[in-house]
Structure 1
Amino acid sequence: MKLPKHIREEWWGKSYVFGCVAILIVTIFSIVYFIASKGLSPFVSGGVGIGELLFGLKWNPEGEPATFGALPFLFGSFSTSLIAALIAAPFGFCAAVFMTQIAPKLGRSILQPAIELLAGIPSVVYGFVGLSVVVPFLRDHFPGQGIGVLAGAIVLSVMILPTVTTIATDALSTLPAGLKEGSFALGATRWQTIYKLILPTTLPALLTGIVLGISRAFGEALAVQMVIGNAPHIPRSLFESASTLTSIITLSMGNTVGGSLHNNVLWSLALVLLLMTFVFIFIVRMLERRIKR
């Protein structure tokens, strides 16, 4: 018995959707399993301790004995990402307020496309701009050679600015018009309405933009690698060279033998990056729940 056309189309549509979802789930679990199997092998059979990797200060994989202290790289990743978020957040929030509350037509027609254009620029371009503009400026006006944590953070702040601005703009645009009208009716000025009503109301969404920006900065490799100096130690100031997890992975992975202890430890660092991504996603989900409430 031949089924009607609309039933067959519905069946094919459901099958296609469920097939795509199944492929995505299998792909995600396969990636996690592959990275975890590689990343856990140094702790299981390589004689490397978790405490040594996460809290060790010395990175010397070619030494006798080899040492794999990744704390300098963890410190470099967190410091550059957090400083970048601190720089990008005020600019992103101010741009979002301007586009939605002060000059919506002008902001959305000129400023928003310009900010979104930043998201499409390749990482290597940001790196070259950092080497050509940021590093010479820091070298001329601050101590050091210009290459260091602050240079990497400035480059990252520009890279995550579209993420922070876009999420803040969407949050401010979805506010009910009655909130502002009620505030104006009570005698509040525009600026009082913005910083006493609008910003506190959208704070969870604004924090979501910051967390996503930090997640984006945490996983960036090439642009930071070009301006941070790639020195495997904890810097004593923002103007000293440092290194990040992504930098040490990209610089060393091609120079190691597959299956060696050094190679597996690099996979352990990749596993740390993956776990940090899960942490950022969990934080974003928690903030989204607060928004829905």
Structure 2
Amino acid sequence: MKEIHGDFSKKSKKRKLESFGRTISFVCIALIVLVVLSILYFVISKGVSTFFVDHVSLKDFLFGTLWRPGEVGEDGNPLVGALPMIVGSFGVTIFSAIFATPFAIAAAIYMVEISPKTGKKILQPVVELLVGIPSVVYGFIGLMVVVPTIRSIFGGTGFGILSATLVLFVMILPTVTSMAVDALQAVPRHYREASLAMGATRWQTIYKVVLRAATPGLLTAVVFGMARAFGEALAVQMVIGNAAMMPTSLITPASTLTSILTMSMGNTVMGTLENNVLWSLATILLIMALLFNILTRWIGKKGAMNK
């Protein structure tokens, strides 16, 4: 009877601990959801004030090319065209992803397929070191090295989308590389063995079997890198020139959504048009972050369905 009673007590305590653990987990999840919803509500409610309170046309805001929040155009509407910043953000994001993807995939292939031991000893510490470097250091190096180099080669001021692209290329490279390594390692070993057994060379196996099987994971890595580049502020602000005008080339000063936000948010008064349009820019950033997350989930589901 004592043994039965002891077992019952242990089970009762275990159930209480499990119930307590579930309660703590639920509270933490509910708190996270509440914080996310609060952020969404706060940013979006401030962002739409531009259109409902200040009566700015959505078309003029998204497709206008003049950014002078304190001035009014000939038609009487505020000059708050965000197209130059949108183009700048997408420009640096797309170009940096184009530059980083081949290097990241090549490094991942070397670390996983060609020389795993050497890759782990040399490349993995380098990748981890790049992840730990603060954004301001990247920006300072870009300001001291990249901008003068671009100026000496192409002329002009050296500031622009090209300089920002080169800085972001180095910044997102470790993110894309790490996720590409995970994608290649997730390919089942028997895929490689079956390919080699059928007479394929190692390079044919890598190109026609491993890379194709890892395509969803590699695409997810690229999208995560683009999301990282799209939201970067400080490093881009230091090298892009921060000129709120439509970029005419890759070597002319431009601006991004994040650079305008970081430069202007502290110089405006809450509730004014100048402040509301900045919240509208923040809303665009928030929407793009959600779209990047949706895209990664869609790629993941497509990859799971193909398997």
TM-score range, shorter chain: over 0.9
> 2:146 is matched with which residue?
134
Aligned partner of residue 231 in structure 1, secondary structure: coil
Task: After TM superposition, list the pairs within 5 Å mapping 1:53-202 onto structure 2.
Answer: 53-65=61-73, 66-202=78-214
> 1:249 is matched with which residue?
261
- What is the CA deviation profile of residues 74-95 of structure 1, one whole-angstrom value per residue up to 9, with x for unaligned ones? 0000000000000110110000
Q: Residue 109 of structure 1: CA displacement?
A: 2.1
One of 25, 28, 44 as aligned partner of 2:36: 28
> 1:48 is matched with which residue?
56
- One-letter amino acid matched to 1:41: S
Q: Residue 4 of structure 1: CA displacement?
A: 2.5
Sequence identity, in percent? 51
- One-letter amino acid matched to 1:264: N
- One-letter amino acid matched to 1:244: T
Q: Residue 64 of structure 1: CA displacement?
A: 3.3
Q: Residue 196 of structure 1: CA displacement?
A: 1.5
- What is the CA deviation profile of residues 81-116 of structure 1, one whole-angstrom value per residue up to 9, with x for unaligned ones? 000000110110000000000000110122112112
Counterparts of 1:34 and 1:50, CA distance in 2: 19
Structure 1: tracts of 5 or more residues without a match: none
TM-score, structure 2 normalization: 0.93
* 1:233 counterpart = 2:233: no
Counterparts of 2:38 and 2:49, CA distance in 1: 17
> 2:3 is matched with which residue?
none
| Structure number with larger C-alpha Rg | 2
* 1:210 counterpart = 2:202: no
Counterparts of 1:138 and 1:191, CA distance in 2: 37
Q: How many residues align?
A: 292
- One-letter amino acid matched to 1:188: A
- What is the CA deviation profile of residues 16-45 of structure 1, one whole-angstrom value per residue up to 9, with x for unaligned ones? 000000000100000000001101111111
TM-score, structure 1 normalization: 0.97
